[in-house]
Amino acid sequence: MCGIVGYIGKTKAVDFVVDGLQSLEYRGYDSAGVSTIIDGQAVTTKQVGRVDALRVELESLSINKTAVAVGHTRWATHGIPSVNNAHPHFNSDKTIFVVHNGIIENYQELRTMLQSKGYSFVSETDTEVIPHLIDLNLKTEKSFQKAFEKTIEELDGAYAISALHVSEPDSLYVARLSSPLVIGVGDGEHFLASDATAIMDRTKKVIYLDDYEVAHITPDGLKIHNIRDAVQVQKEAELLDYDAEKAALGDYPNFMLKEIHEAPQTIQSAIRGRIKPEANTVKLGGLDNVMEQLQFIDRIVIVACGTSYYAGLVGEYLIEEIAGIPVEVQLASEFKYRNEPFSRSTALLAISQSGETADTIAALKKVESYGVLRLGIVNAVGSTIARMTDAGVYCHAGPEQSVASTKAFIAQVTVLTEIALNLSEGRTPLYKPLMKELQALPDKVKQIFESDGDIEKLAHKYKDYVDFLFIGRKYGYPCALEGALKLKEISYIHAEGYSAGEMKHGPLAMIDKQFPTFAIATDGELLEKTVSNIEEIRARKGKVVAIATQGNKSVAKVAGDVIYIPETLEQTQPLLIAIVMQLFSYHVAMAKGHNVDRPRNLAKSVTVE
């Protein structure tokens, strides 16, 4: 979603900010802008569309020697994409400039109050109240910092905010509540970003702001004030664990295909040092400090959104079958508003690729006072969820640039398998076979890539259909949900995921020769039932594409088209099924001429509710 980048230091502030904004393009946005200060005057440039157009306009202004700048990429929440609605926003005399991620929930009330005092608005956004409110508070406060802090205290909602004032060209002011913000530390310079990706090539030393913290940043230092507790905060810089080369496109035409093909390394990275068949152990260092508490856990609630939610559904089957612990999976956006019994013997497990998903963060905040164990599965080291939870397991999948998550799902399901094994303490007969199979999976994924040409041909065959049904049973059911999501995300084809056993309870009404079905029919105890469901579809002239296990002849007799995966345990089938569905969706979208990395209306990191 929206991205913030800022710089204060020596020179070429605008160059750095624009480069940073471009590195955040994967998050999704519809407009972009930059503000800087030159000789006591503010210069603001805003554009609807891509950062490239903004760069061209800024280059024509020859302002690359400025030493302070803030920039923003906007994903529309309040108001259509337009120059007026793009950030930065400013006060009436254009002396205060603000960029903002999040949502100000009381902006209508503040807007009405400010209009009654003579302030006029040029945008439809919630953000524009902030510079006007700072301006108002500056009339009664002794310093810009005091006015900024008073303004922050008057805002309700979620935010990451950075502000500039023309009278202080050597200062950046920032604040955070439930929206990510990181400060990079350099030599006589500081960098600001809502996503560490934007500052990686300039520094690996960072300071993370926490909720209710306000920072005053100068080239040579920063001071952090917690406005809720009214105390100064001292923080040491942390070292980022990030390989910028892994975020490069290389020889691939787009990031989605690159990240699908990184699945073997993704699985390998997730199990390296954790799965130890020779010692008959599954070692998860991130859970070491809570192992004693985990002995008393009799229920796990998984909260997540989107693809992470579907990974959680696979995890529900895994943990219940392997570890024998009851699991409930809830959408984080619903969990926050539920009023349910929650005992201290329940653990909350939050899953998020970015570690900054607003609804999942809200779910964790909801149980802060419950005294329950909070666990996390995240990919981004140092992210908000990683720091909020009591313990957790990193995915180690490396950066994921494409909006539609691929390798993150693979990593999350791999980690959930490891957690299930770890919690089982070796009591399940699946313990050794699963450890062995996890080690074998990278090579089996590579076998699927060898049949990519066949998958692409099928994608071209089905690309012009406007509806699709995905079905599966047991482990195949959450895979069907994820498969439908992938297809609709990047191809814009209407797709639904359903349990195959529910076909008679409604979905059959939709089936005809124009409504194809993608059936997950891999080997398992429920395969015969899935084959019967496929027969029901065929009887209604529905076309069927099936995923089956190599060597199985029965599925080909009932499905029009079949894609085969290598033989594997039923519990690890989702990791291979997912690759097939990702490739199918990818090729459909490419055949339709869509931008697979930047699907319309979507954002990579969903930082607002």
Residues marked as catalytic: 2, 604
Give me the DSSP letters along 225-257.
EETTTTEEE----EE----GGGGS-TTSSSHHH
Locus of tokens 């290389």:
250
Question: Residue 202, CB half-sphere, CA atoms under 13 Å: how many?
Answer: 29
Pairing mode of beta strands 346-352, 373-378: parallel
Between the alpha carbon of residue 599 and those of residues 253, 492, 596, the distances in Å are 16, 9, 6
Which DSSP letter does residue 326 get? -
Residue in 76, 174, 165 with CA at minimum distance from that of residue 125: 76
Locus of tokens 């869509």:
594
- For 608, residues 6+ apart whose C-beta sits below 8 A from its C-beta are 1, 77, 101, 102, 103, 158, 179, 358
Strand partners, 232: 225
Between the alpha carbon of residue 562 and those of residues 255, 384, 498, 528, the distances in Å are 27, 43, 19, 16
Q: From CA 574, how far away is CA 410, in angstroms rounded?
A: 8
Radius of gyration of the chain from its Cα atoms, rounded to whole angstroms: 25
Give me the DSSP letters along 570-600.
GGGHHHHHHHHHHHHHHHHHHHTT--SSS-T
- For 601, residues 6+ apart whose C-beta sits below 8 A from its C-beta are none
Between the alpha carbon of residue 137 and those of residues 117, 154, 160, 385, 466, the distances in Å are 12, 11, 19, 33, 54
Question: Residue 150, CB half-sphere, CA atoms under 13 Å: how many?
Answer: 16
Strand partners, 30: none
Burial track 11-36 (b if 16+ CB lie within 10 A, e otherwise): ebbbbbbbbbbbbbbbbbbbbbbbbb
Within 10 angstroms of residue 96's Cβ, the number of other Cβ atoms is 29
- For 245, residues 6+ apart whose C-beta sits below 8 A from its C-beta are none
Q: From CA 480, how far away is CA 549, in angstroms rounded?
A: 16
Within 10 angstroms of residue 326's Cβ, the number of other Cβ atoms is 14
Residue in 159, 205, 164, 165 with CA at minimum distance from that of residue 185: 205
Give me the DSSP letters along 504-535.
GGTGGGG-STTS-EEEE--SSTTHHHHHHHHH
Q: From CA 212, how far away is CA 155, in angstroms rounded?
A: 11
Which DSSP letter does residue 431 get? H
